[in-house]
Amino acid sequence: MSDIHEKSTGGLLTEALTHVSALVRNEVDLARAEISENLNRAAVAVGLLVGALVLALTALNVLAAALVAALVRLGIPDGWSALIVGVVLAGVAFAMVAKGINDLKLTSLAPTRTKKNIQRDAEAVKEAYDAK
């Protein structure tokens, strides 16, 4: 009789270890996939920053002179025209840089789904253990 219980307990233990092992493997795979996805988003954010820089330089070099000339033709003095154009272009560049930096924050790169799954799994194991 005790031999049956030992096999049953041993079988249960083996089954539980198999499930825990599979669960850990699945969570590691999810974490790896989520980190890869987040790194891809970070690469896009870096691309946004580079694009913002190129856009800002291009805008300052190509459009600034044309806009200043247009404002001067409207009767605004040269200095004020240049200041108005510079402030507007700087505002656009600032908005793009702020968006890129916000997307690169470490909190946006953390594997949050994996964390939630691990917490959920821990709660399920705890509930199953408490039920016994």
Q: What are the φ and ψ backbone dihedral angles of 77, each rounded to 5 degrees?
A: -55, 155
- Report residue 30's pLDDT band, with 50, 70 and 90 as the boundaries: confident
pLDDT at 87: 92
Mean pLDDT on 107-116: 73
C-beta of residue 34 within 8 angstroms of C-beta of residue 40: no
Tally Cβ neighbours within 10 Å of residue 74. 8
pLDDT at 50: 95
Read off the pTM: 0.42
Rounded to an integer, what distance in angstroms lies between the CA atom of residue 121 and that of residue 23? 8
Rounded to an integer, what distance in angstroms lies between the CA atom of residue 50 and that of residue 42? 12
Q: Which amino acid is at 55?
A: L
State pLDDT tens for residues 58-81.
877 887 899 899 999 999 999 999
